[in-house]
């Protein structure tokens, strides 16, 4: 027997409709590409979204078409998202930090019909225009006054396009499993692969994230969405903030410490989310000016492991709670979040900080387990590392354009992360499967070593890679980027690590480089480091 409740299928644009109708006065504040702050309400945003939906229709965009966006977090990008998905087309967020050839590859692979872009990325797209096979035209997110000179063909000015359009649009009734958005993995191994989200997967994740065990946003919040819309849907904030009626603050291209600080202060930001690299820059600025963060209550940090020192300084000096999150493009993206539990609250402060370095527990909807190479489940004892497997309604089934399922026989997706899960359900990433250092049949966690090294006051960033070793198979090489003006000798560093990690984990060598290379989503580019150090000879060989 079926339930007798309304079957209304979920459409992402209902989120914005709700925000406009019941939180209509709440603001979206954008730091713009043109310079200056733009401010309007959810009500205004919906009206303009409908205008753009009409404009897209006129351009021939239809249900199922892909429309690419190359843009910072800003109000026009926000409108474009809801307009594209709301009418049944697919918002394909392209990460402009990828190499131009990769950008061209994914636009072609997705067969985007139009590209919506900020003026910042015009020259990037001009450079690859000749390679683009499916794009019929370009929509530049600007008004007439700020339209750049460009060699792009068939260019439209966003404000001109929407100017004459009506503020009404009849959103189609879509099956909630209709594709809404497309996001490619960063492609550190091979070509990027497309993950196709649905209205259902996005809304379920946003609902889960909005619970008190998740981000717990309310209409009292002011949310600074630093994490880019092109980085796994800004971790769902673009939906969860309007859903809860929170004020939304969008930083545009301005991600430096001062801009972030000014937005937090001026917009009384209570909640924010970004990768560790952004917070590193921010904290350095904060320390330099002796800033304060009286309104900020919590920051979500994820994308790569959060150093303990970062959690500590936010907590002890600024009274801001760090919520570590783990997820991936393939998990829409939120998988786990580190909110505390009574058992952890009962520990002393330092032990609580240790716990905060774990990646957290799954939100309802996501299930996780760890397995060995044979696929057998491993114990949740907080010690045994295994392959992290995940499943749930916002977890990938197959990649776009590749028919076959990427799940195992029981429906689990192999994340390629190595993790432990403890008795309280807290998951801790110990490595990427390809980065873990296999020494004498045991595993050394490159992430753990990096985090520990980053606790040293002279170290700005640390990376650990495995180097071939005739006796042990692989041994760790520690690569350091030091803070400006700081110095630390190899022996000092090994002494520092010696009291913090097992002896057999100690790196066989320590080297310094000016800048540790980062990939398109702020993660350490180990591929490039392996290439740089391929001829390095460990002193222990």
Q: Per rule CB under 6 A, is residue 328 in the interface with ligand AMP? A: yes
Exposure on the CB side of residue 240, measured as CA atoms within 13 A: 33
Q: How many Å apart are CA 235 and CA 226, to the nearest integer?
A: 10
Smaller CB separation from ligand AMP, 273 or 488:
273
DSSP three-state, residue 398 = coil
Active site residue 438: yes
Collect all residues with Cβ–Cβ distance below 8 Å to 525 and sequence separation of at least 6.
188, 517, 518, 519
H or E stretch at 167 = none
Q: Per rule CB under 6 A, is residue 432 in the interface with ligand AMP? A: yes
Exposure on the CB side of residue 69, measured as CA atoms within 13 A: 29
Q: Per rule CB under 6 A, is residue 429 in the interface with ligand AMP? A: yes
Give me the catalytic one of 165, 267, 330, 450: 330
Convert residues 504-533 into a mask of x (bound to ligand AMP by CB under 6 A) and - (unbound).
Answer: -----------------x------------
Angle at 110 between CA 107 and CA 113, to 5 degrees: 75
Active site residue 443: yes
Smaller CB separation from ligand AMP, 69 or 359:
359
DSSP three-state, residue 89 = coil
Q: Which residues within the stretch 157-176 sit at the binding site for ligand AMP (CB under 6 A)?
A: none
Smaller CB separation from ligand AMP, 232 or 320:
232
DSSP three-state, residue 83 = helix
| Interface region with ligand AMP, contact rule CB under 6 A, candidates 3-11, 46-54, 325-333, 493-501 | 325-333
Q: Per rule CB under 6 A, is residue 186 in the interface with ligand AMP? A: yes
Measured from the CB of residue 325, what is the shortest distance to ligand AMP in angstroms? 6
Smaller CB separation from ligand AMP, 95 or 210:
95
Residue 298, both tokens: 């919590």
- Count of residues in contact with ligand AMP, rule CB under 6 A: 20
Q: How many Å apart are CA 89 and CA 310, to the nearest integer?
A: 40
Smaller CB separation from ligand AMP, 222 or 324:
324
Q: How many Å apart are CA 541 and CA 458, to the nearest integer?
A: 28
Q: Residues, the chain, total?
A: 541
Q: Are 37 and 31 in contact (CB under 8 A)?
A: yes
Q: Per rule CB under 6 A, is residue 233 in the interface with ligand AMP? A: no
Cross-strand partners of 369: 389
Convert residues 399-428 into a mask of x (bound to ligand AMP by CB under 6 A) and - (unbound).
Answer: ----------------x-x-----------
Place of tokens 């969405």: 225
Cross-strand partners of 334: 327
| Interface region with ligand AMP, contact rule CB under 6 A, candidates 23-31, 277-285, 300-308, 397-405 | 300-308
Q: Per rule CB under 6 A, is residue 329 in the interface with ligand AMP? A: yes
Q: Per rule CB under 6 A, is residue 198 in the interface with ligand AMP? A: no
Q: Which residues within the stretch 84-143 sit at the binding site for ligand AMP (CB under 6 A)?
A: none
Q: Per rule CB under 6 A, is residue 324 in the interface with ligand AMP? A: yes
Active site residue 484: no
Smaller CB separation from ligand AMP, 193 or 199:
193
Active site residue 330: yes
Q: Rounding to the nearest 10 degrees, give the CA dihedral for residues 129, 74, 336, 183.
A: -20
DSSP three-state, residue 523 = coil
Residue 504, both tokens: 């057999």
The helices-and-strands tally (H runs, E runs) of the chain is 16, 25
Convert residues 303-322 into a mask of x (bound to ligand AMP by CB under 6 A) and - (unbound).
Answer: xxx-----------------
Smaller CB separation from ligand AMP, 206 or 524:
524
Q: For strands 437-439 and 442-444, give the pairing.
A: antiparallel
Q: Just list the catalytic residues.
A: 185, 330, 438, 443
Q: Which residues make up the interface to ligand AMP (CB under 6 A)?
A: 185-186, 232, 302-305, 324-329, 333, 359, 415, 417, 429, 432, 521
């Amino acid at each position: 027997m079926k339930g007798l409740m309304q079957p209304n299928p979920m459409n992402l644009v209902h989120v914005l409709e709700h925000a406009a109708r019941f939180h209509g006065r709440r603001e979206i504040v954008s730091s713009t590409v043109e310079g200056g702050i733009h401010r309007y309400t959810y009500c205004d945003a919906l009206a303009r979204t409908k205008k753009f939906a009409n404009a897209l229709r006129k351009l021939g965009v239809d249900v199922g078409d892909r429309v690419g966006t190359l843009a910072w977090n800003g109000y026009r990008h926000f409108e474009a998202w809801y307009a594209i998905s709301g009418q049944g087309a697919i918002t394909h967020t392209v990460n402009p930090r990828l190499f131009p050839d990769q950008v061209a590859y994914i636009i072609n692979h997705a067969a985007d019909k139009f590209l919506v872009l900020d003026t910042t990325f015009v020259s990037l797209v001009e450079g690859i225009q000749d390679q683009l096979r499916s794009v019929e035209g370009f929509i530049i997110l600007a008004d007439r006054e700020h339209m750049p000179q460009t060699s792009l063909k068939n260019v439209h000015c966003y404000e001109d396009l929407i100017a004459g359009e009506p503020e009404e649009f009849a959103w189609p009734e879509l099956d909630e499993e209709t594709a809404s958005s497309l996001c490619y993995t960063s492609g550190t191994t091979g070509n990027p692969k497309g993950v196709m989200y649905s209205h259902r997967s996005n809304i379920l994740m946003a609902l889960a994230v909005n619970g008190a065990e998740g981000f717990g946003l309310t209409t009292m919040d002011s949310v600074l969405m630093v994490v880019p819309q092109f980085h796994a849907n800004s971790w769902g904030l673009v939906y969860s903030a309007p859903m809860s009626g929170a004020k939304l603050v969008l930083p545009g291209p301005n991600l430096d410490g001062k801009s972030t600080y000014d937005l937090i202060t001026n917009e009384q930001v209570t909640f924010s989310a970004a990768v560790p690299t952004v917070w590193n820059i921010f904290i350095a600025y904060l320390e330099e000016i002796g800033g304060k963060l009286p309104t900020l209550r919590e920051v979500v940090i994820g994308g790569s492991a959060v150093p303990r020192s970062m959690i500590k300084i936010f907590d002890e000096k600024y009274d801001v709670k760090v919520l570590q999150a783990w997820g991936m493009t393939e998990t829409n993206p939120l998988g786990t979040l580190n909110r505390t539990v009574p058992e952890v609250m009962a520990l002393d402060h330092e032990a609580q900080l240790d716990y905060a370095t774990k990646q957290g527990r799954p939100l309802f909807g996501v299930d996780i387990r760890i397995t060995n190479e044979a696929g057998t489940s491993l114990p949740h004892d907080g010690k045994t590392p295994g392959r992290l497997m995940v499943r749930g309604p916002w977890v990938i089934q197959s990649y776009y354009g590749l028919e076959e399922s990427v799940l195992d026989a029981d429906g689990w997706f192999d994340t390629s992360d190595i993790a432990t899960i403890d008795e309280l359900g807290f998951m801790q990433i110990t490595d990427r499967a390809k980065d873990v250092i296999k020494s004498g049949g045991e595993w050394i966690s490159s992430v753990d070593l990096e985090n520990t090294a980053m606790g040293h006051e002279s170290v700005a960033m640390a990376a650990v890679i495995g180097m071939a070793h005739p006796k042990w198979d692989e041994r760790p090489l520690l690569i350091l980027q030091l803070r400006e003006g700081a110095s630390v000798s190899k022996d000092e560093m090994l002494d520092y690590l010696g009291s913090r990690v097992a002896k057999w984990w100690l790196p066989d060598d320590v080297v310094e480089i000016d800048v540790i290379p980062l990939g398109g989503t702020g993660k350490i580019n180990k591929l490039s480091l392996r290439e740089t150090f391929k001829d390095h000879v460990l002193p222990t060989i």
